Structures are given as C-alpha cells and as structure tokens.
C-alpha cells in the first residue's frame, strides 16, 4: 500500500495530465484495496460471531413457534399449554389439552392437529353407553 502512496505522491508532483491520470488510477486502486480489506474483515468477524445453537436455544425457538397453537381447538380438544419439546420434530412435542367435558390430557401435538386424538376418551364412553342401551 505504501508503494501506491509513493507513486501517487510522485504523479501529483509532476503536475502534467498523463501523471494526473495515472494518479487517478492509483487512487482507484487504493480505494478498491481498502474495500477488499474491509470486506475480508467483515467476513472474518461474521465467522467469529457464528456460534452453533445450543439445545436451549433450539428449544426456545421451537417453543416460540408452537405458541401459535395455544388456544386453538381441534375436534373436542383445546390446546392450553406446551409441554416437553421434541428437538428433532416439533410436531412430536407434548401438548396439554382440555377436552370439552373438562378433563385435561397430555398428548403429542401431531395427534391433536391431524385428528388421531379427538377427545380425552369421553366420546368413546358415550358411544359405549349408547350401544348398551340399544
């Protein structure tokens, strides 16, 4: 870089058009060199700031994403709370649900939203009672 500055100083001292044109080129080269150094520094800083997510960070992110399900009702089950988080598949995380009959149960989120689990079991008891009456 000091070589560029020395050449630039010489060209400016000569005060003729050709040397001034060369001086402009040298200035452009110096500016580009500074920009390259700044970009390299940014990349270096970005790599140093890169950290892998810890288990707690990942759990926190998943829990934040699952909050949108709280309060929603699927069939007879209303999701009231998020339980244990599954880090591999968020849909396998545990949710606490309240059934229309008032009972609470814990099950996987996937079972509730895809309809595999429709109630706490109270509808099965009702069906059985109806079968016994007939």
Q: Is residue 41 part of a domain?
A: yes
* Cα torsion through 127, 128, 132, 134, rounded to 10: 20
Same domain assignment for residues 22 and 71: no
pLDDT attached to residue 57: 86
Locate all alpha helices (DSSP H) within 1-134, ordered by sequence.
2-14, 17-49, 55-66, 109-113, 122-133
Domain enclosing residue 86, as ranges: 55-120
* Cα torsion through 95, 99, 100, 103, rounded to 10: -130
pLDDT attached to residue 15: 73
Mean pLDDT of 55-72: 91
Question: What global pTM score does this model have?
Answer: 0.56
Structurally, the chain folds into a number of domains equal to 2
């Amino acid at each position: 870089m000091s070589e560029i500055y020395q050449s630039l100083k010489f060209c400016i001292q000569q005060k003729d058009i050709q040397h001034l044109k060369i001086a402009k080129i040298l200035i452009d080269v110096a500016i580009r060199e500074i920009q390259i150094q700044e970009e390299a520094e940014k990349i270096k800083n970005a790599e140093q700031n890169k950290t892998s997510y810890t288990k707690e960070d990942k759990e926190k992110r998943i829990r934040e994403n699952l909050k949108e399900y709280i309060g929603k009702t699927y069939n007879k089950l209303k999701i009231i709370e998020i339980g244990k988080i599954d880090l591999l598949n968020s849909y396998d995380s545990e949710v606490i649900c309240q059934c229309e009959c008032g009972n609470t149960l814990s099950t996987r989120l996937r079972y509730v939203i895809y309809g595999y689990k429709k109630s706490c079991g109270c509808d099965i008891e009702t069906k059985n009672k109806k079968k016994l009456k007939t």
